[in-house]
Chains A and B, each alone.
Chain A
Amino acid sequence: MIQVKGVWFHYQPEEAPRKDWALQDINLTIMPGEYVSVIGPNGSGKSTLSRLLNGLLLPVEGEVRVGGRLTANTQDLWYIRQQVGLVFQNPDNQIVAPTVQDDVAFGLENLGVSREEMKERIRDALEAVGLAGMEQREPHHLSGGQKQRLAIAGILAMQPKVIVFDEATSMLDPQGRKDVLGIIRQLNEKGTTVIHITHSANEAFLAKRVIVMAEGRIQLDLPADELYPIALILEKWGLDVPLAVRLHHRLLGHGWHLRERITSLEDLVTDLWRFLSKD
């Protein structure tokens, strides 16, 4: 679906030495239907990467292809942006129109979708994010979580194959975050390719594949259940480690006889039950 090959990027390529570039030799293939998370500290280049995926930015070196088409080809740009939707961090700053339904319609108007079809798509998109019945609401009367769901609906109505969430949960309250994460999972289950960019390890491990970025490079690219047991390594880049992993590590250190590898919180819980019931 998406291929990133040998991509180097910097906003002012002439002025910075190559070792300081925002992206350095990024190689990445994302298959249709995947649920990938990209995790990395601030300034690791993960947001820059998201903007390269739909041609908002073009690589200085290397190439990005979506469905085989190059993002550098101007005539393919609109196809690519329709295929790859981007949900941004700040829910306020990506809502264009003064009412909920007008905002969902915005992308469809740009694509030149007929009014009849818009009606259907708007209804379906709002239903999918749980905002049905709020068509006439004004965005400033929505909560942060609702605004972000509206932003997702606006993308969803354009029927993209891939949706990139660029720290889309970082400005939300816990409830809003939970709602958005639930929608992300549902979308993926229905076949949308999801790329979730985050700095929260807990959110990253909801995906099936985790890419760790730091200093402009991909440091690790592993299935989530392979990274989980060795998640302590995330501390190396100043990232947080899931509580279960830290606890497991400490318990082992205290001489508890648990499994050497756990791949999820549930693993640890069952292990603990087993261990404690033996006594």
Chain B
Amino acid sequence: MIGQYIPGHSPLHQMDPRAKLLFVFAYMFAVFLANNPATYGLLVLFTGIGIYFSRISLSVFYRSMKPVFILILLTSLLHLWMTRGGEALFSFSFLTIYEEGVRQAIYISIRFFLLMAAASLLTFTTSPIDLTDGMESLLKPFERLGVPAHELALMMSIALRFIPTLWEETEKIKKAQMARGADFESGHVFKRVKSYIPVLIPLFISAFRRAEDLALAMESRCYRGGKGRTKWRELHYSHLDVVLLLLFVILLTALWLLRK
């Protein structure tokens, strides 16, 4: 997802992953309640406070959001150009910018920023293992409906475990192919992408072999699905999560009152 986990001890870090996940999910809907300067202002303020309490430096935050800003810029330009309505503010040959276009561009940019900021805060302050646990726990009630909560969580956890291993292996294969004269740097994009095929094929073969080995090792350690399994990791709600809930209720009420 967005942004990499930054270990820390801020209030946001200490919140329960389930609380944070639920909050971000609800927040994404709340953002769409905003429809005037007051409500957007309130949301920006709220997110700003969130960033402050995450104890993540603004420069780090800015850097990880950079690609998002480019996207925001592009969409707002599109809005300026395409949206019609209200008074024409500016006109130059085929390009006319309307009042509504400016408003939409600003609102959409803010909305986009708010959504990405909330998602980034979640991944910045929650370790992937905690996120996995949180998701498993939240999905557990839906197991009866056929949602494979345990399996999904285990898949994510194994993926987390093996990403660094496979990454190391990629580097190794790359070096081995380079030693045999492979060239990954020159040529146009298409050629460069193609030059990775001799890396990917051995990588895939080895990944399948690893998967087979791992399955044997898991079976040897009595793995037989989620049934009858106890859990080593436990999640605990704390007073911080109650604070988060209260804040969200207040935010929602304020949004409701301020929107036109």
Residues on A lying within 8 angstroms of B by beta carbon are 51, 54, 56, 78, 81-82, 85-86, 88, 90, 92-99, 101-102, 105-115, 118, 122, 138-140, 151, 154-155, 158
B129→A112 contact, CB < 8 A = no
Chain B residues in 8 Å Cβ range of A99: 129
B210→A92 contact, CB < 8 A = yes
A56→B222 contact, CB < 8 A = no
B217→A96 contact, CB < 8 A = yes
Supply 6 A–B pairs (Cβ within 8 Å), ascending by A.
A51-B216, A56-B219, A94-B213, A109-B230, A118-B232, A155-B221
| Identity of the chain A residue whose Cβ is nearest the Cβ of B213 in the assembled complex | A93
Alpha-carbon distance A140/B171, docked complex (angstroms):
14
B216→A56 contact, CB < 8 A = yes
Per DSSP, chain A at the interface is helix
B11-19, B32-40, B102-110, B158-166: which lies at the interface: B158-166
Contact for A78 among B129, B209, B222, B230, CB less than 8 A: B222
Alpha-carbon distance A155/B164, docked complex (angstroms):
24
Chain B residues in 8 Å Cβ range of A151: 217
Chain A residues in 8 Å Cβ range of B260: none
A115→B231 contact, CB < 8 A = yes
> Shortest distance in angstroms between A7's beta carbon and chain B's nearest beta carbon?
19
B168→A107 contact, CB < 8 A = no
- Does B157 have its Cβ within 8 Å of any Cβ on chain A? yes
Chain B residues in 8 Å Cβ range of A90: 210, 213
- Does B194 have its Cβ within 8 Å of any Cβ on chain A? no
Chain A residues in 8 Å Cβ range of B219: 56, 81
> Shortest distance in angstroms between A74's beta carbon and chain B's nearest beta carbon?
11
Per-position contact with A for B217-239: 1 when CB-CB < 8 Å, else 0? Answer: 11111111000111111100000
Chain A residues in 8 Å Cβ range of B217: 86, 88, 93-94, 96, 151
Contact for B168 among A95, A98, A140, A154, CB less than 8 A: A140
| Identity of the chain B residue whose Cβ is nearest the Cβ of A122 in the assembled complex | B232
Q: Which of B146-171 contact A (CB under 8 A)?
A: 157-158, 160-161, 164-165, 168
Alpha-carbon distance A107/B221, docked complex (angstroms):
5
> Shortest distance in angstroms between B65's beta carbon and chain A's nearest beta carbon?
26
- Does B178 have its Cβ within 8 Å of any Cβ on chain A? no
B129→A98 contact, CB < 8 A = yes
A97→B231 contact, CB < 8 A = no
Q: Which of B112-161 contact A (CB under 8 A)?
A: 128-129, 157-158, 160-161
Per-position contact with A for B157-198: 1 when CB-CB < 8 Å, else 0? Answer: 110110011001000000000000000000000000000000
- Does B214 have its Cβ within 8 Å of any Cβ on chain A? yes
A113→B230 contact, CB < 8 A = yes
The 9 A-B pairs at the shortest CB distance, nearest first, are namely A105-B232, A93-B213, A94-B217, A107-B221, A140-B164, A110-B222, A86-B220, A98-B161, A98-B160
A110→B157 contact, CB < 8 A = no
Alpha-carbon distance A88/B217, docked complex (angstroms):
7
Chain A residues in 8 Å Cβ range of B222: 78, 81-82, 107, 110-111, 158
Chain A residues in 8 Å Cβ range of B164: 138, 140
